[in-house]
Amino acid sequence: MAGWSQTIIIGNVGRDPEMRYLQSGVGVCSFSVAVTKKWTDKTSSEQREKTTWYRVSCWRGLAETANSYVRKGMSIMVVGNVETKPYLDNAGQPAASLELTADTFQFLGNRGENQGGGQGGYEDQYSGGGNQGGASNVDDIPF
């Protein structure tokens, strides 16, 4: 039986995109997105928040679009497939990162826009053409 999954995140871009090209000429663009959940603790009535970071990768035409328009601080929605990648941190302890391969994304505006700040956001949706899911050869992945 075949499976299928999709992940949608909404958050703020944490760093400007980095564009790379594989030896095959395929473009890949990566940037990070912070997704913050806020809630009130029921026992102490304190405001709590937890931020989860995602490393987002866009491929081919979607990569070119991301490189041209995505900027640190923007509010963005990204739709794609997420994987957990294990690694050893600087102290040699096991850790993991969440890596989202984007199928589409949509700009929701700049951070602070709803409070009267910001410069107005993009409201266009972008999606890459063709094989959006990633490289055709795992050895081509630049990270």
Beta-ladder partners of 27: 21
Considering only residues 83 and 112, tell me which one the structure prediction assigns the higher pLDDT: 83
Which fold does the domain 7-37+48-114 belong to in CATH?
OB fold (Dihydrolipoamide Acetyltransferase, E2P) (2.40.50)
Task: Specify the range with the lowest mean pLDDT, choosing from 41-50, 87-96, 107-116.
Answer: 107-116
Quote the pTM value: 0.72
Judge contact between 130 and 58, C-beta under 8 A: no
The tokens for 28 are 């890949």
Share of the chain above pLDDT 90, in %: 60
Q: Confidence band (pLDDT; 50, 70, 90) for 109?
A: low
Three-state DSSP class for residue 140: helix
Mean pLDDT on 89-105: 92
Considering only residues 82 and 111, tell me which one the structure prediction assigns the higher pLDDT: 82
Mean pLDDT on 73-100: 92
Rounded Cα distance between 98 and 125, Å, is: 23
Mean pLDDT on 6-18: 95
